[in-house]
């Protein structure tokens, strides 16, 4: 019964594009941005961003935000930097318009010097944006409850949790959403940034990170792509200072006492490459799975809501052709490529032929890569 009504809904969506708000929007001629800062507190990455080549930045910005609607006084997030770096839209001409390949994007660089104060701004991600991954979301619920009243948990507090699963399944996204829901500081680091120029850099960065987190507890430490530093022992000899970083991580994780309310979340695509001692410190390993049919439909529908163009798409077919793809691939490789293909053809509607183009070009890329190693 439930499925049937879902199908009915699908059919009506197929023939009648639901996005009305963006239908009459113009393309933006000019967008002026002001760098604002990161949405989280964290202490291990350079707080400034430095834009040395404005033309290059413009090209990069246009490529990344093509098709997005820009409104003055709202934010754009640079999702290629972790955590997403926020820019305020100071000017959009005309206001409430869409970034196209011809939009000029300018940046106010004088403001960059003031970034030291690192304003904390909210990203726009919420837990409800993550489709599926119920186990992980349940764990996040427990963490939230714990951080609200740590005393009720006594010695049963959540401490170290590992998120693992294929790339693009929502691990980083979930932690960003968690940070948004919480009032406590989240210290986010990408593990690769711990590998410094000098032996000892990474170890002392880890020490500083845990120190700061415990001084400001309750708090969360999120080590993204933790396999980069906590490599399996058999690989450690290949990377000079890695074993030192691993030891430092172990010392710090063990040093957090029961009543300190510091939670460490690690994320990795490949838990088997983790150092065994590090892996054993995580009390729970939660798998992120590829989306099933229903979840892919929800991911597709959610993404379509923000499409700047109208669309006439066969959702049932889309569910079939995206089987086996992650949330990221659906968004970036299929929907975004299809949108760009429609924009490039000066089309005002995204159709299945644009989706076919996207699927083909993705396949071409895959076979190219394979060919290189054959
Ligand atoms: N479960 C999901 N629900 C909704 N969107 C998802 C999901 N998984 C991935 N995505 C999309 O893919 C993008 C990348 O996901 P990300 O969290 O960075 O993956 P991971 O960290 O697991 O490699 C997200 O920003 C989102 O657009
Ligand atoms: Mg990630």
Closest CA to 22 of 65, 68, 63, 59: 68
Residue 256 CA to ligand 1 center (angstroms) comes to 30
Tell me, using a 6 A CB cutoff, whether residue 83 lines ligand 1.
Answer: no
Q: In the 8-state DSSP scheme, what is residue 134?
A: H
Residue nearest to atom 10 of ligand 1 (CA): 327
The verdict on 262 and 149 lying in the same domain is yes
Tell me, using a 6 A CB cutoff, whether residue 167 lines ligand 1.
Answer: yes
The verdict on 272 and 170 lying in the same domain is yes
Position 278 in a domain:
yes
Tell me, using a 6 A CB cutoff, whether residue 130 lines ligand 1.
Answer: yes
7-12 average pLDDT score: 40
- pTM (2 decimals)? 0.69
The verdict on 244 and 146 lying in the same domain is yes
The verdict on 110 and 37 lying in the same domain is yes
**Average pLDDT of the chain, as a whole number:** 80
Position 208 in a domain:
yes
Strands of 72-210, DSSP E? 75-78, 85-93, 97-98, 104-107, 160-165, 186-190
Position 125 in a domain:
no
Closest CA to 176 of 166, 186, 163, 168: 186
Which CATH number covers residue 56? 3.10.330.10
Position 96 in a domain:
yes
- pLDDT higher for 61 or 232? 61
* Residue 29 structure tokens: 């001629």
pLDDT digits (tens, 9 = 90+) for 237-272: 555 666 778 888 888 888 877 778 899 999 999 999
Band of residue 20 on the pLDDT scale cut at 50, 70, 90: very low
Q: Give the pLDDT of residue 198.
A: 63
Position 55 in a domain:
yes
Q: Give the pLDDT of residue 296.
A: 97
Name 324's Cβ contacts closer than 8 Å, sequence gap at least 6. Answer: 290
pLDDT digits (tens, 9 = 90+) for 166-186: 999 999 999 988 888 887 888
Q: Give the pLDDT of residue 325.
A: 95
Q: Are 260 and 217 in contact (CB under 8 A)?
A: yes
* Euclidean distance between CA atoms 341 and 333, whole angstroms: 12
Give the dihedral of Cα atoms 76, 82, 83, 86; nearest 10 deg.
-20
* Euclidean distance between CA atoms 55 and 68, whole angstroms: 20
Tell me, using a 6 A CB cutoff, whether residue 168 lines ligand 1.
Answer: yes
The verdict on 263 and 188 lying in the same domain is yes
Q: Give the pLDDT of residue 118.
A: 31
Q: Give the pLDDT of residue 6.
A: 44
Position 207 in a domain:
yes
- pLDDT higher for 117 or 200? 200
Q: Give the pLDDT of residue 160.
A: 94
Q: Give the pLDDT of residue 94.
A: 87
Q: Which range of residues forms the domain containing residue 108?
A: 30-117
Residue finishing a domain among 117, 151, 173: 117
Q: Give the pLDDT of residue 155.
A: 85
Closest CA to 66 of 96, 17, 105, 93: 105
* Residue 143 structure tokens: 């963490």
Q: Are 31 and 105 in contact (CB under 8 A)?
A: yes
Name 232's Cβ contacts closer than 8 Å, sequence gap at least 6. Answer: 272, 273, 274, 275, 276
Residue 290 CA to ligand 2 center (angstroms) comes to 14
Residue nearest to atom 6 of ligand 1 (CA): 327
Ligand 1: atom nearest CA of 169 is 8
pLDDT-above-90 percentage for the chain: 33
Position 243 in a domain:
yes
Is 367's pLDDT higher than 80?
no
Which CATH number covers residue 194? 3.40.50.300
The verdict on 281 and 139 lying in the same domain is yes
Band of residue 324 on the pLDDT scale cut at 50, 70, 90: very high
Band of residue 5 on the pLDDT scale cut at 50, 70, 90: very low
The verdict on 219 and 259 lying in the same domain is yes
Residue finishing a domain among 270, 288, 306: 288
Quickly list H helices, the chain: 2-15, 54-65, 134-148, 171-181, 201-215, 233-236, 242-255, 276-281, 293-304, 315-321, 327-328, 337-344, 352-373
32-45 average pLDDT score: 67
Q: In the 8-state DSSP scheme, what is residue 16?
A: S
Q: Give the pLDDT of residue 80.
A: 67
Which CATH number covers residue 298? 1.10.8.60
The verdict on 237 and 179 lying in the same domain is yes
Domain total of the chain: 3
Tell me, using a 6 A CB cutoff, whether residue 268 lines ligand 1.
Answer: no
Residue 305 CA to ligand 2 center (angstroms) comes to 23
Band of residue 334 on the pLDDT scale cut at 50, 70, 90: very high
Q: Give the pLDDT of residue 350.
A: 96
Position 25 in a domain:
no
* Euclidean distance between CA atoms 136 and 169, whole angstroms: 11
The verdict on 310 and 341 lying in the same domain is yes
DSSP-based helix, strand, coil % in the chain, nearest 5:
50, 20, 35
Tell me, using a 6 A CB cutoff, whether residue 354 lines ligand 1.
Answer: no
Is 110's pLDDT higher than 70?
no
Ligand that lies nearest to the alpha carbon of residue 326, given by its number in the listed order: 1
* Euclidean distance between CA atoms 162 and 192, whole angstroms: 17
Residue nearest to atom 20 of ligand 1 (CA): 168
The verdict on 321 and 255 lying in the same domain is no
The verdict on 281 and 313 lying in the same domain is no
The verdict on 91 and 145 lying in the same domain is no
315-329 average pLDDT score: 95
Ligand 1: atom nearest CA of 291 is 1
Residue 373 CA to ligand 1 center (angstroms) comes to 28
- In this structure, of 121-130, 243-252, 333-342, the range with the lowest mean pLDDT score is 121-130
Ligand 1: atom nearest CA of 288 is 22
Residue finishing a domain among 257, 288, 319: 288
2-26 average pLDDT score: 47
């Amino acid at each position: 019964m439930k499925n049937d009504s879902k199908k009915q809904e699908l059919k009506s969506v197929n023939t009648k594009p639901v996005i009305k708000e963006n239908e009459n929007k113009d393309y933006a001629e000019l967008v002026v941005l002001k760098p604002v800062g990161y949405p989280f507190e964290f202490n291990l990455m350079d707080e400034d961003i430095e834009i040395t080549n404005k033309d290059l930045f413009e090209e990069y910005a246009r490529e990344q935000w093509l098709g997005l609607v820009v409104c003055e006084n709202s934010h754009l997030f640079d999702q290629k930097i972790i955590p997403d770096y926020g820019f305020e839209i100071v000017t959009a001409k005309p206001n409430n318009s869409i970034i196209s390949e011809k939009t000029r994007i300018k940046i106010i660089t004088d403001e960059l010097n003031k970034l030291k104060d690192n304003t904390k701004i909210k990203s726009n991600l919420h837990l409800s944006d993550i489709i599926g991954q119920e186990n992980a979301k349940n764990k996040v619920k427990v963490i939230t409850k714990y951080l609200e009243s740590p005393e009720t948990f006594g010695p049963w507090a959540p401490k170290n949790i590992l998120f693992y699963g294929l790339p693009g399944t929502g691990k980083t996204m979930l932690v960003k959403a968690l940070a948004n829901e919480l009032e406590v500081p989240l210290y986010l680091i990408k593990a690769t940034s711990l590998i410094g120029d000098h032996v000892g850099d990474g170890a002392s960065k880890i020490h500083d990170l845990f120190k700061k987190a415990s001084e400001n507890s309750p708090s969360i430490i999120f080590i993204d792509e933790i396999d980069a530093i906590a490599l399996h022992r058999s690989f450690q000899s290949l990377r000079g200072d890695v074993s030192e970083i691993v030891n430092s991580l172990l010392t710090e994780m063990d040093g957090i006492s029961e009543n300190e309310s510091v939670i460490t979340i690690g994320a990795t695509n490949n838990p088997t490459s983790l150092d065994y001692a590090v892996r054993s410190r995580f009390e729970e390993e939660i798998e992120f799975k590829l989306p099933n049919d229903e979840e892919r439909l929800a991911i597709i529908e959610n993404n379509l809501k923000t499409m700047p163009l109208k669309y006439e798409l066969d959702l049932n077919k889309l569910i079939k052709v995206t089987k086996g793809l992650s949330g990221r691939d659906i968004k970036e490789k299929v929907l975004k490529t299809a949108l760009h293909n429609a924009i490039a053809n000066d089309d005002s509607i995204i159709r299945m032929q644009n989706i076919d183009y996207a699927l083909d070009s993705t396949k071409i890329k895959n076979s190219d890569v394979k060919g290189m190693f054959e």
